[in-house]
Structure 1
Amino acid sequence: MQIITNDELKYLLQITDLILLDVREHYEYEQGHIPGALWFPLNRIGELASFWSFDTKLVVICNTENRSAAACRYLKSHGFKNLFYVVPGMKAWDGPLTTAGCPMLTRGTNSIKQVYFDHAATTPVDPQVASAMWWYLTQEFGNPSSAYYYGRRSKEALFKARHQVAQLIGANEQEIIFTSGGTEADNTALWGILKALPPERRVLITSAIEHAAILNNIPALEKAGYRVIVLPVTDTGLVEPEVLEQALSSKVGLVSIMYANNEVGTIQPIAELVKLAHQVGAYFHTDAVQAVGLCSIDVNQLQVDALSLSAHKIYGPKGVGALYLRDGTPYLPFIYGGAQENQRRAGTENVAGIVGLGVACQRICQQLKNVEYLKELRDYLEDSLKLLSGVTIHGHPTQRLPNNCCFSISDYSGQDLVLDLDVYGIACSSGSACQGKQPSHVLQAIHVPEKQIKQAIRISLGWSNTREEIDYFISVLKELTGE
């Protein structure tokens, strides 16, 4: 397995016979590829042995070296001898391009098993959710603000969905504000509440492991004159009540602590933290995007003043979410325009998406009684991982989401492992889907060594996963690590 440069590839294409495989996404290939390059998706690389002998000279190219290297590692482990991958690859290619011909090589169906282990990033849409949405995409198309029949039908759909969302978290219908997702719900809670508070309450308290939808507001808040206190967490990711208590004062207007972390799954003692905040007159918001559907949540038991949730984390559609806002909580609109959502969130409502959110909440409410299945599955996974050498599991040992397993394997880059697993049809992540290639601020906050941070991956299980899939994952992991 050798690395070649773009210039070396140009030379080789002129003087020698080789097979050039483009493993980018299909739309990228169609926009322009090297003449003669064959498009071959990464998760079908295993079929190449049915096309060429192990002595064939294969050159793999992508936008960056990571996916190319992953393909070559797989091919090398399966017997191919003459392998090359191109650095930096297509992102810096200045040679000839074409949009013609050279379709994907196909021979039969994809024989590689497909396993989805990234439900913290997103979940598949429940068929009943999709069915309910389809009706409002094709038949009931009215604007809910219209007074005539079509509008009234859409308005009724919003009312029903509002009830379904409220029922899931123990709220009243009028306390639910529909948004475009969890990020908007978080932003709306921060700015909507803080702007409505008196000037002597211009301090926000949050934690070091919050989602980017909270933490990336800090520079703008500080520029607007607010002071932000970021609390440290323990090595297992907990916000300790005494740490919050020490930071609280009569100047604090809002505390925002996530219910459960999206990377390591640690569940916070929200009810205890809320009580402390209320003792000094501060309001409390929790980002429950990861927790809803996996934890039984009652806003009245927790006494939170605001709570964010998102449809696509609970088998609903992307692009829709909700903010619970307790009656009486000070609030100014985050988005200005029409009088929708009782003048709290302007803009014509995404009726089909909101219907999908409502049905997803109803469906997930029924599934909560079976959440022990996910915990048993996760424990089975971790018991299997502990039998491998060099594995470290991150997060709280008991106060953790039942589907979450974040771990590091020594001497194996997390990004490389994710790509290598992808070749075998296994989908997981090397951190938050919203974080990209940045080092995990969550793992940094819980004091994971830098080397282990780079080696970390996250498995997040869903209702359709099985023990057989975990066995397959472990067998692939053993093959990749040489155990």
Structure 2
Amino acid sequence: MFQDKKKKIYLDHAATTPIDPQVLKAMMPYMEEKYGNASSIHSFGQEAMRGVNKARKQIANFLNCSIDEVIFTSGATESNNLAIMGYIRYLKTSPVLSFIKRGIKPHIITSQIEHPAVFAVCQAMEREGVEVTYVGVNKEGLVDVEEIKKAIKENTALVSIMYINNETGVIQPIREIGKMIEKYNKASMKRAAPNPRSTCPNASGGRGAAPACARLCRQAGRLNPRILFHTDATQAVNYCNCDTKYLHVDMLSISGHKIYGPKGIGALYLKNGIHLEPLMYGGHQENGVRSGTYNTPGIAGLGKAIELISNPQDHLRIKKLRDKIIKNITKKLPDVYINGSMENRIPSNINLSFKGIDGESLMIMLDMEGVAVSTGSACASGSHNLSHVLTAMGLSSRLAEGSIRITLGKYNTDKEIDYFVEKLVEAVNALRKIAS
């Protein structure tokens, strides 16, 4: 679509980001002289493993967790699959906790606005006989903590709620949800304990605690050990506090290519003491949770990208650009609607609906002018379906059809924004003229 004579402006950073030159520099040695297999014990392998260990430490420092709680994956999609599918299948097959033998259906709670990498996994789990509750959101796109609490049942095994919505940029109350689940678990264990000082070992994440935990839970009348809490933090890493202890999460997914790192690499924070059934079997890498040859260049790049996470000054600059876009567009065009909470939102995201036009047509016209935006999740592009996120928020089909997502990055400039607004106004006016 892009023509050489046109400007090329990238405003789709929620889909992917350009790689930071410093990240590329950190990766290159592992594609050239340090190319050994990190699982090998000879000097080439040891050199590569030092790169893996360095990145693991960088990520652990960022997440405020132990290095053995960082599991490398191929990206957030795999991390989400491993967290959800891996835990549920473990519950179903564990000799101690076997849900199948006990005739119990595990129960998952998630939301109606999840990324396809979570939504589709939960649907797949339903086909395997798992019960799933999809809680709704309000018109601002926010999940209600009380609604999640109300959805908890005696067979609830897992709650998975995204940190930042990829379409609207709305920040979900992850810490509040985590604290609520933690409080619920402690109350369940307290009821199960034979005396006030007796606690569930698994409640604090102790290794090998599953049998004792299961025994206490059965005494309490619950059908499974404590409820685990997973969050997909893919869109949050650049802008939000991802301290796993602060968030009170048990599992957390991240991706490299959303934070100016390489594609094909991600990680899963897996709290000590939690068991997962692997999705892939092989060489027993990552403590047997995720087999496969280490992607050493990608891992090194992910570690460096985490180290370079943008600072508050970058956030302020991006927010000013975002506010400039909103101010100028709403000033020059009537019937423009901002989708999602502006108060609980990352600074890089704008989701707008334009009355009387088709969002995909607008996206194509902007693309012809050299500007890249999106109509929603990049993973669902081309499906021609209405955004499940916007419909869950209560938008009419016409407004959902007329939406686009604009997501800014650290390399965007004021001049680019001026050009974008100019071309967007022209395109919207042209489309409305055709429609009338």
In which range does the TM-score fall when normalised by the shorter chain?
0.7 to 0.9
1:446 corresponds to = 393
CA–CA separation in structure 1 for the residues paired with 2:107 and 2:45 = 42
1:254 to 152, 158, 181: 158
Q: What SS class does the counterpart of residue 38 from structure 2 fall into?
A: coil
Which letter maps to 1:338? G
Larger Cα-atom Rg: 1
Q: Deviation string for 1:63-96 (max 9, x for gaps)? A: xxxxxxxxxxxxxxxxxxxxxxxxxxxxxxxxxx
Which letter maps to 1:223? R
2:404 to 457, 472, 476: 457
Q: How far did residue 372 of structure 1 move?
A: 2.0
Which letter maps to 1:393? I
CA–CA separation in structure 1 for the residues paired with 2:408 and 2:316 = 12
Q: What SS class does the counterpart of residue 138 from structure 2 fall into?
A: coil
Tell me, which stretches of 5 or more residues in structure 2 are unaligned? 92-96, 186-225, 431-436
CA–CA separation in structure 2 for the residues paired with 1:404 and 1:158 = 32
Identify which range, 321-330 or 195-204, moves more after superposition: 195-204
1:79 corresponds to = none
Which letter maps to 2:252? L
Contact 1:209/1:442, CA 8 A, preserved across alignment: yes
2:341 corresponds to = 396
The reply on whether 1:482 has 2:386 as its aligned counterpart is no
The reply on whether 1:245 has 2:143 as its aligned counterpart is no
1:126 corresponds to = 20
Which letter maps to 2:123? P
Q: What SS class does the counterpart of residue 43 from structure 1 fall into?
A: coil
Identify which range, 384-393 or 195-204, moves more after superposition: 195-204
1:385 corresponds to = 329
Q: How far did residue 140 of structure 1 move?
A: 0.8
Q: RMSD over aligned Cα, in angstroms? A: 1.4
CA–CA separation in structure 2 for the residues paired with 1:230 and 1:423 = 38
Which letter maps to 2:132? V
CA–CA separation in structure 1 for the residues paired with 2:126 and 2:429 = 50
Contact 2:170/2:346, CA 8 A, preserved across alignment: yes
Which letter maps to 1:313? K
More RCO (CA 8 Å, sep 6+): 2
Q: Deviation string for 1:412-434 (max 9, x for gaps)? A: 21111111001111011111100
2:2 to 36, 43, 64: 43
CA–CA separation in structure 2 for the residues paired with 1:411 and 1:478 = 14
Contact 2:329/2:425, CA 8 A, preserved across alignment: no
Which runs of at least 4 in structure 1 moved beyond 4 Å after TM superposition? Answer: none
Q: Percent identity?
A: 43
1:48 corresponds to = none
Match runs of 1:152-191 below 5 Å = 152-191=46-85
1:117 to 1, 11, 16: 11
Contact 2:339/2:351, CA 8 A, preserved across alignment: yes
Which letter maps to 2:145? P
Q: TM-score, normalised by structure 2?
A: 0.84
The reply on whether 1:372 has 2:336 as its aligned counterpart is no
Q: TM-score, normalised by structure 1?
A: 0.76
CA–CA separation in structure 2 for the residues paired with 1:171 and 1:380 = 38
1:104 corresponds to = none
1:413 corresponds to = 358
Tell me, which stretches of 5 or more residues in structure 1 are unaligned? 1-41, 45-109
Q: How far did residue 126 of structure 1 move?
A: 0.5
Contact 1:296/1:368, CA 8 A, preserved across alignment: no
Q: Deviation string for 1:266-287 (max 9, x for gaps)? A: 1111111112223143110000
Q: How far did residue 368 of structure 1 move?
A: 4.8
1:316 corresponds to = 261
Q: What SS class does the counterpart of residue 196 from structure 1 fall into?
A: helix
1:14 corresponds to = none
CA–CA separation in structure 1 for the residues paired with 2:316 and 2:64 = 21
1:101 corresponds to = none
Alignment length (residue pairs): 376
Which letter maps to 2:360? Q
CA–CA separation in structure 1 for the residues paired with 2:366 and 2:181 = 44
CA–CA separation in structure 1 for the residues paired with 2:392 and 2:272 = 34
1:3 corresponds to = none
1:470 corresponds to = 417
